[in-house]
Amino acid sequence: MTTDELKGLKVASLVDARGTACPGPLLAAKKAMGDIESGEILEVYSSDEGTKVDIPKWCQKMGHDYLGVVEESSYVRMFLKKS
């Protein structure tokens, strides 16, 4: 997905995990995933560099669709679709 497509997605939930370190963003994403329905989209903000690698791996393992990442100046926005 392109950056514009990602930014245009309708997200069901947004979790701001900026300012937390490993495994904070992962745990925040897991918790937020529990509150949305299958097929809905979760957006995760993280300022932790490692999360960019971790979240796609976690999605793959858990069966969620990792849609992509939008890089902002001091953080990343990741888009995940619940399986």
* By the rule CB under 8 A, 14 interacts with another protein: no
* Nearer residue to another protein within complex by CB, 64 or 77: 64
Give the neighbor-by-neighbor strand order of the sheet with 65-71: 13-16, 41-46, 76-81, 65-71
* By the rule CB under 8 A, 24 interacts with another protein: yes
* By the rule CB under 8 A, 61 interacts with another protein: yes
Q: Find the binder of another protein among 58, 75, 79, 80 (CB under 8 A).
A: 58
* Nearer residue to another protein within complex by CB, 2 or 74: 74
Question: Do 44 and 27 contact (CB within 8 A), yes or no?
Answer: no
Q: Distances from the Cα of 37 to the Cαs of 32, 41, 48, in angstroms?
A: 10, 9, 26
Residues designated as active site: 22
